[in-house]
Amino acid sequence: MHTGSCLCGSVRYEIRGDIGPGFYCHCTRCRKASGTAFASNALVAADDFVITAGREALKTFIAESGLHRSFCGNCGSPIISQRAGVPQVRVRLGTLDTPLGHGPQAHIYVDSKAEWWDIHDDLTQYPEAPPRPGK
């Protein structure tokens, strides 16, 4: 099991299952939401992600695309994003309090990355979204 929290500690959560593939997302939306060159996310089954404290502090922004971005309303830390009807959430890896043991395995939406950021690793790079398993 993994635990995590926001910057101020108001929102706390547990991941009661496996953390799936991690990725660095360079899309414009993630850059805007994080204020950085990319967001570091990993997929987790929605049923395995449990808010254990601070649910009342959690705020959600719903984008035109239907993506729900949840963050701490006190300190602004982004926690997860998800889409209605999708059985997974994307957890912001920087909010984990327990060691993960490995980092993200790929860069996604590289075609829209910040022009001032250069990628200097050998991870797989996808111009847009990675291919879905079985497709």
Mean pLDDT of the chain: 93
With respect to residue 133, please indicate whether it lies within any of the assigned structural domains: no
pLDDT digits (tens, 9 = 90+) for 83-101: 988 999 999 999 999 999 8
Residue 19's pLDDT band, with cuts at 50, 70 and 90, is: very high
- CATH assignment of the domain containing 64: 2.170.150.70
With respect to residue 16, please indicate whether it lies within any of the assigned structural domains: yes
Query: Which domain covers residue 21, as residue numbers?
Result: 2-125
List all residues 6 or more positions away from 56 whose beta carbon is below 8 Å from its beta carbon: none
Residue 135's pLDDT band, with cuts at 50, 70 and 90, is: low
With respect to residue 132, please indicate whether it lies within any of the assigned structural domains: no
pLDDT for res 64: 87
pLDDT for res 39: 94
With respect to residue 130, please indicate whether it lies within any of the assigned structural domains: no
Q: Which of 7-16, 31-40, 62-71 has the highest mean pLDDT?
A: 7-16
Q: How many domains does the chain have?
A: 1
- DSSP per-residue codes, 27-75: -HHHHHHHTSS-EEEEEEEGGGEEEEE-GGGEEEEE-TTSEEEEEETTT
Alpha-carbon 56 to chain mean position: 20
With respect to residue 9, please indicate whether it lies within any of the assigned structural domains: yes
With respect to residue 119, please indicate whether it lies within any of the assigned structural domains: yes
- Express as a percent the part of the chain with pLDDT over 70: 98
Q: Per-residue pLDDT for 134 more than 60?
A: no
pLDDT for res 131: 78
With respect to residue 135, please indicate whether it lies within any of the assigned structural domains: no
Q: How deeply is 112 buried, as exposed, middle or buried, from its count of CB atoms within 10 A (0-12, 13-18, 19+)?
A: middle
With respect to residue 25, please indicate whether it lies within any of the assigned structural domains: yes
